[in-house]
Amino acid sequence: MRCPRCQQENPPQAKFCLECGARVALTCPKCRSELPAGAKFCLECGEAVASQATAEPRFTSPESYTPKHLAEKILTSRSALEGERKQVTVLFADLKGSMELLADRDPEEARKILDPVLERMMEAVHRYEGTVNQVMGDGIMAGQVPKTLDNRGVDALDSERTGKISGMVR
């Protein structure tokens, strides 16, 4: 079974990826029963199951969602940063109430709702030259190395305010 996040091959009985720890076990979108690898329909309720390979195709690695100008900046300053300890700001953000919102929807419909929300979250992070380290279901984990002027608190509040998405999806 291939991990949708890091593409590591895992044994069929694995529930979590041996490489990155992401959940690899299939679950039914309707009744939430755990399913065997390769299942196309739920063995409990008969609901069609989308393959995990199509569950998160757009956000599988930072290369797929990091703007090119930001990636180049990170790569060119890499040697200057290696071995140096710095304080960083870390942000965890997710969509409030997403389980209730998506509970009765099929996976493709849920992705159509979640993807624009995740993109908006990532745009807010990238606006302040932060990097999105992981995309996990309905949320992100991001980090930022502060610039010379330490405006982390103001930037975090502004990023939260401009990236606010409550009420965006109904």
Residue-range domain boundaries for the chain:
1-53, 62-162
Confidence band of 53 (pLDDT split at 50, 70, 90): very low
Say which range, 27-31, 106-110, 131-135, 154-158, has the weakest mean pLDDT.
Answer: 154-158
d(CA 95, CA 83): 35
Confidence band of 149 (pLDDT split at 50, 70, 90): very low
The SS3 call for residue 9 is: strand
**Structure tokens of 144?**
């930022």
62-162 under CATH 1.10.275.10, yes or no:
no
Strand partners, 34: 27
Given the structure tokens 């930037």, which residue do they identify?
155
